[in-house]
Each structure stands twice: as structure tokens, then as C-alpha cells.
Amino acid sequence: MDKHRRMWEAKGHRPYWAAIHIQMLGPKFKELTGFEYTKTFFTIDEHGHAASYFSEAEMAASTRHFAKQWFSDWRNKFFDFTEAFYAEADKRRKEVFSLDWKQLSDDEIIAMMQEIEAKSPFRYIFITNPQHVEPIETRLRELLADHDDPNKVISAITTCDLPLPFDDELNEIAELRKQWASMSEKERIDALQHLVTTYGWFGGIEGEAPYDEAHYEQEILNQPEEHTAITSIDVPDEVRELGQFIARLGNIRFWGRYHGMSMRYCIRLCLEELGRRWNRKDMLYLTVPEAASAKTTDYTDLIAARKQGYIAKLEHGKPALITGKDAQPYLDAAQEEIPDTDQFTGKIANPGKVRGRARIISFASDDYHKQVAAFKKGEILVTGMTRPQIAHLCHKSSAIITDEGGVTSHAAIISRECNVPCVIGTHFATKIIKTGDLVEVDATNGVVRIIKEDSLSSA
């Protein structure tokens, strides 16, 4: 088996979503981009914690492929495809969210799931993966080779004012924050219920519960941190164009994830409703095709096996979920050797240098919510990759370190917006750093160092 590299980790990755997710890397990805992955696999353990592993050889091949695609006419076609797809996805999301589920027949719910599965936006997200956008950043750094501070330039020219999927929610919260002190109790209750009804579903992904009134009240009462991003800088037109190209890809990634999460939530609702009607437990452990036949088919043994953990992979371009001894070769390939070191490097997302206490935030951890609640202003955020759910922690942090991510990642985008030092793509940060460690982040040079307390006291 090829040498594989871990690319991301998540929790609550049930079979219905794992199958949809990995399927978007096969023929459907090739249909859009001209490139197809065949050796990628996901590991999902008994707790639903997932990690993706990509063949390093295939990743290198994909980088070479996109080095041609991005600088051809395909780039404009891709933007046109994406704009049309996202517009249709947003329309469909609003329709689904307004449905009265009790009025739908079983066949109508099944048809809805199948439609959502067929129109997953994840291939659009995958296009912005680090190995795919690397050629754009490489070209940009070549153009800035003689500049005194290329990282500062890249931070400035890769920010943009394009709308983001959570703007409406954040704007409503900001407006309520201004009025909160003068609002009556009833007005506050109504406002909180509106937020829960309109945006609360966002918390109900990755195995979490939807956001409730307490969550939004805390968001209103919390005063956001003020940051000033660097956006004004004189550069040649080609440099600025590439910077805005990267910014647009980052925006596409944001929206793709948003639509992906909403579709995932909709399928989950479909499965739960069918399970209630048919008196079938654990429907979330089935794929969409399996769920369609669950009324008359007994999947008890299959579900029991998947609850012990499974592998999601592609076989002849279609998703396959493997359990038991057949999964062992993939588990072996997923084993990693963690380096024993106090210093490591990553890619520069936003320059700067700080020292502070680290706090690990793991989306795959059972105590994820406790980790988030414990985060203090000025701490260094260390995570596999940042996501919109912890954007408020990014604003509170003095620096950000991630295992994965590229120049279009959420961490890269938000660190530039907040103007906090950020090192991405370290691969092992969450495995080496521990919560409470004193850490120096030199994001100007892409270096992270754990500072030993005894070395300070003896200095």
C-alpha cells in the first residue's frame, strides 16, 4: 500500500456521511476537475472519530495536475460552475428547512435524501485542498522573491470583502448586542428563539446538539475582540490578481463547507424521521441506499459491526465501508510516528511572533465542549484545523497553530482577518504540544517552539 498522509480529523462521522464524503473524491471529482483519487481512505473508530488519509503519490500527482488547470481557461469555467451550484444549493437548503416533515411520505423523504446525496458540494471544497492550491501560492512567492516581506504582502492581498455564510447570523447578534440592555424580557426571549430557529442547526453537525438559547445569549453578552487587518499595500497587478484568486478560493471553501453542513444536517433529519416511522434504531449507521430499504431489510448485524469502527474507501469509483479484519491493512497504513521534538515548522498563514500558553481544541475529542469553554483570551489556539464553530476562539487567541490547511484554509483566512500570527500545516502540532505548554510562535518564519519552564528559571 502507498504511503499515506493524514489530512483532517473530525467527529460524528456516521456511515451515511462518510460514504457521501469519500465518493466526491472519485469519478465525480474527475468530472469537475479532470483528476480522480482512488487510494484515499477514512478511518472511523467506535466513537465516530474520523481521520482521512491520502496517498502521498496521488497528492503529488494532483498538485502537478492543478498546476496546469489553475492557469488555463478551466479556472473561469470552475468559477462559473461553482457560482451556479451554490445558488441552487442555497435555494434547496431554504426549501428543505421550511418543510413540514409530518406531511411528507416515506418515498418523498427517501427521494430527498437521494437528491442531496447526488448534489453534495464536497468536490467543490476538495478543489481548495492544500495540495491543489499549492501551485498558486508557489507562483505568488516566485513573483515576490525579491520583496522584503513577502508574507506581509500575501496576508494583505488575500483578504477580501466577499460575503460569508455566517454574516447574517453575526450581524443579527451584533445588532442585538447594541439593544440588549434596553430590551424587555419577552423581546429577549423572542430574539433568542429566532436565532435558534434560523441558525441553531449549525451546532447540530458532527454529532453535536443544535445551538440553544443559552448559546446565543452568551454570544450576545460576549464582547468580540477588535482586530485590524492589513489590507492596503502597493503590489504589481499580477501579484494582486493572484492574491484575490486565493481569496476567492477561500471564500468558495467557506460556502462549500456551509452547504455541506446544511445538507448533512438535512440527511440526518431524514434518517431520524424514517427511523421513528419504521421503529428502526441507529439509522445514522446506514448509507443512503441502505436507509432507503431499511423498512423491509434487517441491518442489525451490519450496524453492530460498524459501531465497532470501519473504513470508508473507494472501490471502482463507489464508496465501500469495511469492517472487521478486512479493515486492518488500512489501520496499519494509518499508523504515524510522532517526532520527539520541541520545535517544528509549518506554512506561514499570517506573520508575527508571540509567546503564550497553548490550548488544544480537538474536534475529535469527547470533551470538545469543555475545551472550548476553557479557552482564555490571549491563549494560543492549537487544533487540527479551525472551523467556523470556533471562529470566536480565533478572535480571542494570540496566535493559531494547525496540523493541516493551506493558504485557502479557514485558519489562514481568519488569521489574516484578525491579524494574529498563524502557522498552518505543521501536521503534528496537536500531537506534540499539550494544553498549558508555553509556546513561541514565530509565524514570520513558520517555526513553532515549546519553551521549557526550567530553562527560563535557570536563565
Q: How many CA atoms lie within 13 A of 399 on its CB side?
A: 28
Domain presence at residue 93: yes
Domain presence at residue 226: no
Per-residue model confidence (pLDDT) at position 23: 94
96-138 pLDDT, tens per residue? 878 887 889 999 999 999 998 888 888 888 999 999 999 999 9
In angstroms, how far is the first alpha carbon of the chain from the final one?
A: 49
Do 139 and 187 reside in the same domain of the chain?
Answer: no
208 pLDDT band, cuts 50/70/90, is: low
- CATH number assigned to the domain comprising residue 392: 3.50.30.10
Do 95 and 217 reside in the same domain of the chain?
Answer: no
Do 51 and 126 reside in the same domain of the chain?
Answer: yes
205 pLDDT band, cuts 50/70/90, is: low
Per-residue model confidence (pLDDT) at position 113: 92
Do 443 and 347 reside in the same domain of the chain?
Answer: yes
Per-residue model confidence (pLDDT) at position 48: 87
Question: Of 303, 333, 363, which residue sits at a domain end?
Answer: 333
pLDDT of 224 > 90? The answer is: no
Closest among 298, 210, 312 to 261, alpha carbons compared: 210
Angle at 54 between CA 362 and CA 133, to 5 degrees: 85
Do the beta carbons of residue 368 and residue 362 sit within 8 Å? yes
- Mode of pairing for the β-strands spanning 447-451 and 343-345: antiparallel
Taking the C-alpha atoms of residue 8 and residue 22, their distance in angstroms, rounded to an integer, is: 13
Query: 358 or 97, which is more confident?
Result: 358
Per-residue model confidence (pLDDT) at position 98: 84
Do 213 and 253 reside in the same domain of the chain?
Answer: no
Task: Say which residues have a Cβ less than 8 Å from residue 382's Cβ, sequence separation at least 6.
Answer: 358, 359, 360, 361, 401, 402, 429, 430, 433, 439
- Mode of pairing for the β-strands spanning 399-402 and 4-10: unpaired
The answer to which of 81-85, 326-330, 338-342, 362-366 has the lowest mean pLDDT is 362-366
For 14, 118, 297, 298, the CA distances from 293, given in Å and listed in that order, are: 18, 18, 6, 9
Domain presence at residue 157: no
Contacts 24+ apart (CB under 8 A), 233-240: 233/152, 233/153, 233/156, 233/157, 235/153, 235/157, 236/143, 238/143, 239/140, 239/143, 239/144, 239/153, 239/157, 240/157
Domain presence at residue 229: no
pLDDT of 91 > 80? The answer is: yes
Domain presence at residue 308: yes
Per-residue model confidence (pLDDT) at position 458: 54
Q: Reduced to 3 states, what is the DSSP secondary structure of residue 101?
A: helix
Do the beta carbons of residue 42 and residue 13 sit within 8 Å? yes
What's the total number of domains in the chain?
3
- The domain in which residue 416 lies consists of 343-457
Residue with cell 469555467: 77
Do 256 and 322 reside in the same domain of the chain?
Answer: yes
Do 183 and 124 reside in the same domain of the chain?
Answer: no
Do 269 and 213 reside in the same domain of the chain?
Answer: no
Do 349 and 201 reside in the same domain of the chain?
Answer: no
Phi-psi bin for 207: left (phi > 0), alpha (psi -120 to 50), beta?
left
Question: Of 333, 368, 394, which residue sits at a domain end?
Answer: 333
pTM of the model: 0.88
Where are the strands (E) in 78-130, listed by range? none
Question: Of 272, 305, 333, which residue sits at a domain end?
Answer: 333
Do 327 and 348 reside in the same domain of the chain?
Answer: no
Domain presence at residue 162: no
Domain presence at residue 158: no
pLDDT of 403 > 60? The answer is: yes
257-268 pLDDT, tens per residue? 888 888 888 898
Domain presence at residue 394: yes
Do the beta carbons of residue 406 and residue 425 sit within 8 Å? yes
Do 16 and 41 reside in the same domain of the chain?
Answer: yes
Do 66 and 198 reside in the same domain of the chain?
Answer: no
